[in-house]
Amino acid sequence: MDFDYNLKNIKESIVKAKQAGAVVRLGPELEVTGYGCEDHFLELDTVTHAWESLKEILVGDWTDGILCSIGMPIIKGSERYNCQVLCMNRKIIMIRPKMRLANGDSFMEFRYFKPWPQKDQLLDFQLPSEISEATAQKSAPFGYGYIQFLDAAVAAEVCKELFSRFPPHDDLGQNGVEVFLNASGSPHQLRKAIGFRLRALIGVTRSLGGVYMYSNHRGCDGGRLYYDGCSCVVVNGEVVALGSQFSLKDVEVVLAQVDLDAVAAKRGSSSSFLEEPSGKTRIPSLAVPYKLCQTFNLKMPISNPIKMTPCSPEEEIASGPACWLWDYLRRSEASGFLLPLSGAVNSSAVAAIVGSMCQLVVKEIANGDEQVKADAIRIGCYTDEQFPTDSKEFAKRIFYTVFMESENSSEAMKQQAKAMADDIGSRHLDVSVDSVVSALLSVFQTVTGKKPRNKVDGGSDAENRGLKNIQARTRMTLASTLASLLPWVHNKSGFFLVLSSSSVDEQLSGQLTKYGCSSGDINPIGSFNKKDIQAFLRWAATNLGYSSLAKVEAASQNLDAKEIVMTSEELSVLGKWRKTFRCGPVSMFQNLCHKWGSTSGLNPSEVADKVKNFFNYYSINRHKMTVLTPSYQAESYAPDDNRSDLRQFLYNTRWFRQFQKIDELASELDSNKIDNDIIIITEPSDREIPVASG
């Protein structure tokens, strides 16, 4: 929704593209408004401001001699469409509405837009009066089609359409389109960028032939998602240009010089083109009497295939949330971060991610990024032309860590927290919460006449739980107090953002205190599981230079064996089957009987106990998800009910029908253990399939 800033970035990218000699410039999906505007798309103002931005581009020389594909929302009739506006030489050549909308998980495009239904014609769209008056253009073609230049055919394929069941590129390729423009809004997920997106682009162009340009947002767009770039150009199954996945830069232009003769040669030898089906779909086209291509020129060498080196999951955890935190920090007008640092796995991981952010800031400044430098000077309160040159020095200015000890705190954990703070460079405080807890208990005793006791002192479970919750909520109240007043103590303006450090495992199982230590302003690790976090800590100890992480007391894989009887890894599996695969208790039990029976040797009764325990604790603690701290989203099974998990928070936690059915199935399976036939499928030279019975 920052139209001026978005417009500045669009203009900068066009200028860089033209300076490099490019004749086609592709921006990401809905770049004029931002992809994550959500219900702002339902406001007429949003569409009006988008047209205002486009007008400013059209009346200048930005599109002279270059085809620009610009993403924005457009209303036709009374319906909103997610569109790519293809402009050149100060005119709109075509408006291409999206036909396959993203829906589910973190996406709700059907709430804001309508998919374009017509594939057989281009309609005439009357342009807004302010556009007509400024450009003298009254209307533009609107719909699904391609642009036929004198020497090349170009078409748009928007984001999810690439992955749809009947992707447009198949028909477009058969109609002679050589250059595909995909404007995308694809967020970061662990292990996704190279393994999913790029493989799809490589596969499409390897079989179809062609030049595929892919442009993606990068950065925090105002919500829980981080868009991770990887803009690229792929030719005939080879990646010839690839942008960075994680960066603090506002604008990055990925450039390639391609040979369209190579596309013609590949298609000329392809059976799918030589044996063209008689029922080929004819796609509407628009002829433009203009040449895009240049003649053979040694000064403009053809881009060669590049070697892709995917980030490890540990590198993704170090970089994605760090970039997201930087965007949040600089745009929120905050003065820095404050983290309750216990010295355990989760809070240590968050501290390391903030340290990674500080390292990235210093690196980008050293590389000459003036925007990062200006933001860092403002946030760090540098004067006399000074700026960050050392990540630890920068961390000391913008990052506070606090160890909040109680009478039960471990001295080893206290020292571990201090060592971690020293590694990163944060300002560190040791604060006792005992006096605050005692004051609250004194008030409680005055009001009720009773004093609760810990379980070790003879107290009940209710007393013990209540006392633990008082400590947790006291810590968060104290953290919020420090975050609001510490800038004042140091004569700085603004406030600190309180960082939460609960993992997806704790959220799924409810192992967190509502309004307690899990609360805060934002949570960088809220969608990572414990296993990935522990792997990240081992990696960061060496690769980020935080040697103290090697001494972090790794939390047991069992979160609380006495209560929920499952490991962190099992929780991850249960979470994915519940959310990603849409399983209720019974279907989850049936699937996991196969999975865990073969891999872990669990019998049906043991699987039943785990599934029932999971759903019991999930539903008992579901109300906590309604106030869950906004988390960086990088997994598909996050339980955050504000975005990714739209289920109720009031349950009958006994699950009578479901658990009864599970018990019946488990009892039947346990009492009728049958040796199933084992079918072994191989691929020998004679193509026979041996079957072993037993």
Q: Give the start-to-end residue ranges of the domains of the chain.
A: 3-311, 314-556, 566-674
Confidence (pLDDT) at 692:
38
pLDDT at 407 over 50: yes
Contact 320, 546 (CB under 8 A): no
Per DSSP, which regions of 472-587 are E strands?
Answer: 496-498
Distance of alpha carbon 29 from alpha carbon 182, whole angstroms: 8
Token duo for residue 511: 């192992």
CATH fold of the domain at 314-556: Rossmann fold (3.40.50)
Lowest mean pLDDT among 310-319, 606-615, 646-655: 646-655
Confidence (pLDDT) at 542:
93
pLDDT at 120 over 90: no
Confidence (pLDDT) at 566:
75
Contact 637, 503 (CB under 8 A): no
So which residues are the catalytic ones?
29, 98, 159, 342
pLDDT at 688 over 50: no
CB atoms within 10 A of CB 479: 24
Q: For residue range 549-588, list pLDDT tens digits in order.
A: 988 855 444 444 344 567 888 888 898 888 888 899 999 9
Cα–Cα–Cα angle for 550, 556, 559, rounded to 5 degrees: 135
CB atoms within 10 A of CB 581: 12
Prediction pTM value: 0.89
**Would you place residue 307 in the very low, low, confident or very high pLDDT band (cuts 50, 70, 90)?**
confident
pLDDT at 675 over 80: no
**Would you place residue 627 in the very low, low, confident or very high pLDDT band (cuts 50, 70, 90)?**
confident
Confidence (pLDDT) at 568:
80
SS3 label, residue 184 = strand
Among 115, 166, 176, 186, CA closest to 145: 176
Question: What's the alpha-carbon Rg for the chain, to the nearest Å?
Answer: 29
Q: For residue range 419-438, list pLDDT tens digits in order.
A: 999 999 999 999 999 999 99
Q: For residue range 122-164, list pLDDT tens digits in order.
A: 999 999 999 999 999 999 999 999 999 999 999 999 998 888 8
**Would you place residue 687 in the very low, low, confident or very high pLDDT band (cuts 50, 70, 90)?**
very low
Q: For residue range 514-562, list pLDDT tens digits in order.
A: 888 788 999 999 989 888 999 999 999 999 999 999 888 554 444 443 4
List CB contacts of 116: < 8 A, sequence separation 6 or more. Answer: 81, 97, 98, 99, 143, 144
Mean pLDDT of the chain: 88
pLDDT at 680 over 50: no
**Would you place residue 273 in the very low, low, confident or very high pLDDT band (cuts 50, 70, 90)?**
low
- Give the CATH superfamily of 3-311: Carbon-nitrogen hydrolase (3.60.110.10)
pLDDT at 387 over 90: yes
Q: Which residue's structure tokens are 């057989």?
A: 120
Per DSSP, which regions of 175-279 are E strands?
Answer: 179-184, 211-216, 218-220, 226-228, 232-235, 238-242
**Would you place residue 276 in the very low, low, confident or very high pLDDT band (cuts 50, 70, 90)?**
low
Q: Backbone dihedral region of 311: left (phi > 0), alpha (psi from -120 to 50 degrees) or beta?
A: beta
Confidence (pLDDT) at 561:
39
Q: For residue range 11-55, list pLDDT tens digits in order.
A: 999 999 999 999 999 999 999 999 999 999 999 999 999 999 999
Q: Which residue's structure tokens are 């996945």?
A: 245
pLDDT at 278 over 70: no
pLDDT at 193 over 70: no
DSSP code, position 693: -
pLDDT at 59 over 90: yes
Contact 434, 448 (CB under 8 A): no
Assign 3-class secondary structure to 96-125: EECCCCCEECCEEHHHHCCCCCCCCCEEEE
